[in-house]
């Protein structure tokens, strides 16, 4: 079968620590160029799944294919560029915005030109004047935008977003949602977005995965959440008494 519509394919993926089974046999797909949201209770394995998808951890059993190629066949550094990740906490190093933005380059001994820096800032809706600002003086929303720009510097085909708006106020949250949708449209970037905000899932997603206790309890178009008969999913999404 041709898989050209599929960005990531998981088959019977397991992951465990010495004490604990965390991912328990997940099989599923993420569609190319779409926005898929991952929801599920805290501790259900969402962030662990992301670490498997960008090679920070390896599966214990099962397989992950990225663009039809086994994740094991990727060079780890190339994989981390192709599958970019942005975390809830936008970690900034001491220094100005340009130094923060340039980090993926400076780690490789490469310089970031002013033109490129300004282009990246424009892409995430920040003014170029901010380049010389100390990173400690940025708002939460600005930090998250710099963090997104920094990840985009490697031109990832797949972008993993782990609760990136949970520390932000409502205005910045909507701002970031629009920015991600814009990036999805402009570059056809495949977006996988973990959120605990169901309203946000509806606002941004084409598809949804519901992870419960390390298992994929539901997957498909976001609208399926209203129709699902899976009781655990209904309880998580709607609470007990939704009819
Ligand atoms: P989520 O992102 O859905 O909140 P996580 O993937 O962070 O869930 O965690 C899933 C479970 O795995 C939790 O019980 C967590 O404590 C545990 N866990 C995650 N990573 C490790 C690790 N490296 N060592 C031990 N336990 C871990
Ligand atoms: Mg998490």
136 lines ligand 1 (CB under 6 A): no
How much is the pLDDT for 238? 85
Residue 51 pLDDT > 80, yes or no? yes
165 lines ligand 1 (CB under 6 A): no
Which protein residue's CA is at the shortest distance from atom 21 of ligand 1? 17
3-state secondary structure string across 144-164? HHHHHHHHHCCCCCEEEEECC
How much is the pLDDT for 241? 54
Segment 127-174, tens digit of pLDDT = 999 999 999 999 999 999 999 999 999 999 999 999 999 989 999 999
pTM > 0.75: yes
Confidence class of residue 99 from pLDDT cuts 50, 70 and 90? very high
Which protein residue's CA is at the shortest distance from atom 27 of ligand 1? 17
Do residues 91 and 41 lie in contact, with contact meaning Cβ atoms separated by under 8 Å? no
Give the Å distance between the CA of 27 and the centre of ligand 2.
20
Confidence class of residue 3 from pLDDT cuts 50, 70 and 90? low
How much is the pLDDT for 208? 97
C-alpha–C-alpha distance, residues 42 and 48, integer Å: 12
How much is the pLDDT for 63? 98
45 lines ligand 1 (CB under 6 A): yes
Residue 239 pLDDT > 90, yes or no? no
What percentage of the chain carries pLDDT values higher than 90? 91
Query: Into which CATH architecture does domain 6-238 fall?
Result: 3-Layer(aba) Sandwich (3.40)
Confidence class of residue 240 from pLDDT cuts 50, 70 and 90? low
Q: Which residues of 163-195 are buried (b: 16+ CB within 10 A; e: fewer)?
A: bbbeebeeebbebbbebbeebbeeeebbbbbbb
């Amino acid at each position: 079968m041709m898989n050209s519509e599929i960005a990531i394919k998981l088959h019977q993926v397991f992951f465990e620590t010495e004490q604990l089974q965390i991912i328990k046999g997940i099989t599923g797909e993420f569609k190319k160029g779409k926005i898929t949201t991952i929801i599920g209770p805290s501790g259900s394995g969402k962030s662990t799944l992301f670490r498997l998808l960008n090679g920070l951890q390896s599966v214990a059993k099962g397989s992950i294919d990225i663009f039809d190629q086994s994740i094991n066949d990727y060079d780890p550094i190339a994989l981390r560029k192709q599958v970019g990740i942005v975390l809830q906490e936008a970690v900034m190093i001491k220094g100005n915005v340009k130094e923060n933005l340039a980090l993926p380059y400076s780690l490789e001994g490469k310089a970031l030109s002013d033109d490129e820096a300004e282009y990246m800032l424009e892409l995430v809706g920040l003014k170029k004047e901010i380049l010389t600002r100390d990173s400690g003086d940025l708002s939460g929303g600005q930090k998250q935008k710099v963090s997104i720009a920094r990840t985009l510097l490697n031109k990832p085909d797949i972008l993993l977003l782990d609760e990136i708006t949970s520390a932000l106020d409502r205005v910045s949250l909507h701002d970031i949602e629009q920015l991600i949708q814009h990036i999805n449209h402009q570059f056809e970037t495949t977006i996988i977005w973990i959120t605990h905000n169901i309203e946000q899932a509806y606002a941004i997603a084409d598809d949804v995965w519901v992870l419960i206790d390390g298992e994929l309890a539901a997957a498909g178009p976001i609208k399926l959440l209203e129709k699902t008969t899976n009781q655990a999913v209904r309880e998580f999404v709607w609470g007990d008494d939704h009819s």
